[in-house]
Amino acid sequence: MFFQHVYDKSLAQASYFIGCQAKGEAIVIDPQRDIDVYLNIARQNNMKITHITETHIHADFLSGSRELAAVTGAALYLSDEGGEDWQYQFAHTGLKHGDKITVGNLILEVLHTPGHTPESISFLLTDTPATDKPVMVFTGDFVFVGDIGRPDLLEKAAGLVGTQEKGAQQMYASIQRFAQLPEYVQVWPAHGAGSACGKALGAVPSSTVGYEKIRNWAFQYSDDEPGFINYLLEGQPEPPKYFAMMKHLNKVNRPLLVEVPKYPKLTKEQFLAAAQNGLKVIDARNKADFAQAFIPGSINIQGNNSFSTWAGWILNYQEQFIIVADDNQIEDLTRKLMRIGLDNVYGYIPDVHSLDIPLEQADVIGLDTFKGFVGKEDVQIVDVRGVSEYNAGHIRGAENIFVGTLQDNLDKLDKNRPIVIHCQAGDRSAVAYSLLRRNGFDKLKNYSGGYKEWSESGNETVR
């Protein structure tokens, strides 16, 4: 058996290339949208991708299953569980609980594991003729290392009221069935630490059924369904705004993008004309470089592993935008954007100084200066971290407005009063600072050291 774990750090998303070397056939589970990684694996290992499948209708990334099927001619196998509201709306071979997919000498048995979503399935892999016992289970967003999938996304991200309680009940039942699998079976989930699909995902890529029964909190509530449901639903992170669009696009027929696009480098004249027409500018430079000199109205989303997540929070899927990034960075950013379906890039510029326009500077302050604002009645101190982070500990007097929903809560801020923003360690507050400046907030300061520096320096915090 050939096995390769493909991991996208930017979305903490895992996909799997599994092949039968004897027959030269392979299956890909939960592929990302830039599919060249799987084509390269197949070519380098003299295999043909003959099967493609998914564990559920994803919310956190735009699946590349249909792109991969279009290029390779492989058969597409997708869940037909969950009822009529949870069916893929394009051609595929449907899967039900107990069905089996044969890939050369490999057999993948379908397990219906609802909870995260109603149609969620897992795949129990047996490598014959080496053994007639299962050796791996691919759990999607069902069981993670140290955590399980959240059942509240359909309600919070897609607006389907009343689904989180039912999902939690289904998850409890699925967990009980999962616990009956042999303890030696390896667990390979669809996400790792940093994903918004759970609240306490482990950083290691895989586990075993036995290990999860010992260390995963979900298996400690075997006789307490109400306690399980309460713990599962409380303290989940805010689901990114783009999740609803991903749910839709992964379910319906949509245009395919089978190659990584190449966006043009804009001339000064092209950029100025586009900016004059109102195109947003996303500046992907380091926050320190942005603070030194930025295009008025531009939004700072650093081109790190969180780039696509914050772009999905802030951009919509109808508007074009421009990227500020180095030539050697643009392909990586393009891949990050296409993985969540943000394809509306007009072009990019590598150097803001070449535009010959007035640039602005951010007002970034340190700990000592920040202390002078704490406790002042005429100053608004705004903590832009998530609600659960804020509740766990915050600076006295700070208001909580999460950066992802900041644009929807501008009415809570007073442009006539000094405003000091902070997050945990400066990355999110850099995004928030640029958003507020774009919206006309001029009496604004960014305490970049954030809650981390404040608390580690021994200053007072409250819960």
- Residue 179 CB-half CA count within 13 A: 17
For the packed helices 36-44 and 65-72, what is the interaxial angle rounded to 10 degrees? Answer: 50
- In DSSP terms, 76 is beta-bridged to 52
User: For 138-154, b where at least 16 C-beta lie within 10 A, e where not — what string?
Assistant: bbbbbbbbbbbbbbbbb
The CA distance from 418 to 425, in Å, is 21
Q: Which of 69, 229, 423, 435 is catalytic?
A: 423
For the packed helices 307-314 and 427-438, what is the interaxial angle rounded to 10 degrees? Answer: 30
Assign 376 to helix, strand or coil: coil
Task: Single out the residue of 110, 139, 296 nearest to residue 202, CA to CA.
Answer: 139
Task: Single out the residue of 330, 329, 348, 342 nearest to residue 257, CA to CA.
Answer: 342
105 φ/ψ angles, rounded to the nearest 5 degrees: -95, 10
Identify whether 423 is a catalytic site residue. Answer: yes
The CA distance from 297 to 323, in Å, is 13
Pair 369, 377: CB distance under 8 Å: no
DSSP 8-state assignment for residue 105? T
The CA distance from 121 to 57, in Å, is 10
The CA distance from 245 to 356, in Å, is 38
Residues involved in catalysis: 423
